[in-house]
Structure formats: C-alpha cells, structure tokens
Amino acid sequence: MIKQQVLRIETSGRGTYELSGEIQSAVRGSGISAGICHVFIRHTSASLMLCENADPAVMRDLETFMSRQAPDGDPMFTHTAEGPDDMPAHVRSILTQSDLNIPVVDGRCALGTWQGVYLWEHRHRGHHRSVVLTIQGE
C-alpha cells in the first residue's frame, strides 16, 4: 500500500521548523502499520534533519556551527545572484539531508525518544516550502 501527500510549510526565514507532529499524523491517517515513511524536500536551499528535540540550544549551536562552515558573504563563493546567503544555503543543504526515511512500526514512526524531524530553512527570507511524504507498507 502507498499513500502520498504534500506538506506545505511557510518559513519565516533561517531556522528550524519541527515536522514530527505532522508526519506522525500523516502516518496514523495512512492506515499503514509496518513500513517506511519517506520525507522529501523539493528545494536546494532548505533541508531536512533528524535531531535532538529537547533543548533549543542545540538548534542555536547548529546555526553557529553552520555559519562558521559556510559564512554568508564568504568571498570563496561566486554564486551570489540571490545575495550573500544564496550559496551558503546550498552548502548547508548538501551537508544535511534532502530526504529521510523513518521506519513505521505499529502504525507510528519509530523515532527515538530524543529524535525530532526538522525542516531547516537556510535563507534569511521566509519561503514557501513543499515536502512530499510517501508512506509505503502493509
């Protein structure tokens, strides 16, 4: 059995947006009890991440880390058509994930206790982001 649906997320700029609740409820609604939930972001300047879901400092530290890895406006970047955060957004995307798969066990995503699913917006301006869920199983 396969169920697909699209999540629309309006971001308000750089930062993380938790999707765990929407994904769990799509899985519940699918009627699938064992299988895989695939999460796919249709963009190259925002990405997906499985990360610690308890302490907001983790997200702040990840921003700090990424801003050192690929600083906005770094002169090593020549692809700057959309501004100083254009190329850093692509770099952050390739260092994280565009797609994730989560096992479905007993009708739920079998996330660990401390695991949350996040969309990470890498552009400073807010964007409309679309995420395709495909739930496949029995």
Q: At its nearest, how many Å lie between a second copy and the CB of residue 72?
A: 13
Binder to a second copy among 20, 72, 83, 90 (CB under 8 A)?
A: 90
- Separation CA 133–CA 7 (nearest Å): 7
Under rule CB under 8 A, how many of the chain's residues touch a second copy? 59
With 0-12 / 13-18 / 19 or more C-beta atoms within 10 angstroms meaning exposed / middle / buried, residue 123 is: buried
Q: How far is CA 5 from CA 17, 29, 46, 61, 78, in A?
A: 18, 11, 19, 32, 37
Q: At its nearest, how many Å lie between a second copy and the CB of residue 25?
A: 19
DSSP category for residue 8: E
Closer Cβ to a second copy, 14 or 43, answer by number:
43
- Separation CA 63–CA 107 (nearest Å): 33
Q: Which of residues 17-56 bind a second copy (CB under 8 A)?
A: 34-36, 38, 40-45, 49-52, 55
Q: Which residues pair with 17 in a beta bridge?
A: 119
Residues that bind a second copy (CB under 8 A): 2, 4, 34-36, 38, 40-45, 49-52, 55, 57-58, 60-62, 64-65, 68-70, 76-79, 81, 87, 90-91, 93-103, 105, 110-115, 130, 132, 134, 136-138
